[in-house]
Structure 1
């Protein structure tokens, strides 16, 4: 009985210690800057995992195939994640100079996907419930373009996630658990926010929010990488 009490007390103390560490890390400049990138990953996580499939299913021009495309879109997103994770997670994991390039590529890939979605999917697709879309997009909705966007969304997401894990693991090598907990917390909060407003905002505004936050998050990531490189250079000099 005493042994179980000791284990319980030890677990409580460890939890308190981890929580204090998380609060301390939240005040650091690195986490504050990376929080923008983490927040963006939450918004686009909600978009590709829930909102975009709903938009495809609600597109009138896809006809009877629209509902079936939701599942296919999810599979294609997964393929994009696998391709990006394999290339950028394994090949570039030991090269810190490539992190900014990968994140920049992820931003460009996502912006291309957002632009194609804006042209290909009706603006009212996220807000319709039991009916199909009434608005007309700029292009005639194309299944191939819709699935291409799914692939690009998965590919871009893998760019951000692999490099966020990489930089957190490098900067907070001895405090990795609290750092990753902060990442998942911020990501989950913004994903929940995105799911909340997704049924009320038109597609254009949702895409615009992600473009703005994605650009800011990428700039903040560049700043963190520059700070870390500068710190490494100073340590090498001394």
Structure 2
């Protein structure tokens, strides 16, 4: 039994480290993408073939494709298995980051489409693999452990960016090459690390998928059809429809902290020449908040179950509401779109801006660790379909948010976040309370 437990924990830890490396590359690259590509446009505007791509458009394409690719992700993972699915996805992530070493408009958008497909595959496979390596008792621990390891990506990647961008007012070609070269190497290392994952204990991960679909003799085509039918069936259940509101909110705030907020800081003229280096600080503090949340509510959070998982989501909701208010009074209204020196309600404070970065990450971890946990418990027999639906809604809302971020000033973006955050929290409470009555979900003991 100890060997079984050790193999499960081994798989969760190494999957977390591999994702940390791959997403050190992607999350860091995506966070600085709008700013970097602005400088590429300025650098090439007089050349015969000027670069015209934008970071917001690229990220919107990624998440839009990601959303709809989730409908084919679960069948693909059912055929190739979660370990192969994660490896394929990571290879494409590495290629996307490498494309920034020689930016071309057509290549940016081609890789954005491919990355959207890869994201659907890698995250559906991750959710499935996490479930296969967890029990009802260990799901909370494992999801928290994975989340803490995964979010270290923001800490390390943005430390690198801070050191490289320190003192710069523009991002030159040589700096871009160093940064994206280092990020590409990191992604490749994480991709290779996925090769050390083992089959889940006491099961063949492919066979487990087959059994969920009705037997080990099911053909690949039949498996894909059954997965799609399962996903549609789950989508129409009452609990899943309520959780869609929570999923949608996580996509909106993912867009805000991963692409918009760092841009707002660099567009705040009051921060003077230090504003570009603050984006590295901001990313590190978002990561620190994510890691703290993962630790508190995962591997160190067994006592939180005594009070209910909905309390954690309530904490995340309150933290985000306070954070949105501080951002509203601290940063210029036009900062999501352009460099701005317009008056604000208080004198723009780097300390307040960076505190908000930490709080954005902490609040996000409150929502995501509990969503992972409730899906793993309530849909353990159909985890691939459940996680693909989660990522479908989350990524669709992220695509919508990246699109409107090109046009909406700060106050309207924050108003959308407040409204959807309220609806998302309330819907989670209803599902958690209902699940607690049926399964005792809110009071599952950890086996840390």
TM-score when normalising by structure 2: 0.48
Q: Does 1:177 align with 2:384?
A: yes
| Residue in structure 2 matched with residue 220 of structure 1 by the alignment | 427
Q: Does 1:143 align with 2:353?
A: no
Change (3 A) 1:40 1:96: farther
**How far apart in 2 are the matches of 1:98 and 1:173?**
20
Per the TM alignment, residue 71 of structure 1 is displaced from its structure 2 partner at its CA by 1.8
User: Among 193, 197, 205, which residue is 2:412 paired with?
Assistant: 205
Q: Does 1:158 align with 2:368?
A: no
Contact 1:37 1:218 survives alignment (8 Å): yes
**How far apart in 2 are the matches of 1:73 and 1:12?**
46
Contact 1:56 1:69 survives alignment (8 Å): yes
Aligned to 2:406, the other structure's residue is in SS state: coil
Question: Matches of residues 67-146 of structure 1 in structure 2 within 5 Å?
Answer: 67-92=276-301, 95=305, 97-128=307-338, 132-146=339-353
Residue correspondences, number:
224
TM-score when normalising by structure 1: 0.90
| Residue in structure 1 matched with residue 267 of structure 2 by the alignment | 58
| Residue in structure 2 matched with residue 236 of structure 1 by the alignment | none
| Residue in structure 1 matched with residue 229 of structure 2 by the alignment | 20
Contact 1:92 1:98 survives alignment (8 Å): no
Per the TM alignment, residue 136 of structure 1 is displaced from its structure 2 partner at its CA by 1.3
Contact 2:295 2:301 survives alignment (8 Å): no
Contact 1:79 1:151 survives alignment (8 Å): yes
Contact 2:286 2:358 survives alignment (8 Å): yes
Across the aligned residues of Structure 1 and Structure 2, the Cα RMSD in angstroms comes to 1.7
Q: Mean Cα displacement is larger for which, 41-50 or 7-16? A: 7-16
| Residue in structure 2 matched with residue 49 of structure 1 by the alignment | 258
Gaps of 5+ in 2: 1-78, 81-217, 441-448
Per the TM alignment, residue 13 of structure 1 is displaced from its structure 2 partner at its CA by 1.9
Aligned to 1:126, the other structure's residue is in SS state: coil
| Residue in structure 1 matched with residue 200 of structure 2 by the alignment | none
**How far apart in 1 are the matches of 2:439 and 2:309?**
15
Aligned to 2:332, the other structure's residue is in SS state: coil
1:183-238: per-residue Cα shift (whole Å, max 9, x none)?
011101100110000010110010010000000111111111111122247xxxxx
Q: Mean Cα displacement is larger for which, 27-36 or 11-20? A: 11-20
Structure ranking higher on relative contact order (CA contacts 8 Å, 6+ apart): 1
Q: Mean Cα displacement is larger for which, 222-231 or 160-169? A: 222-231
| Residue in structure 2 matched with residue 35 of structure 1 by the alignment | 244
1:33-77: per-residue Cα shift (whole Å, max 9, x none)?
000000000000000000000000000100000111112211111
Aligned to 1:155, the other structure's residue is in SS state: helix
Per the TM alignment, residue 173 of structure 1 is displaced from its structure 2 partner at its CA by 1.4
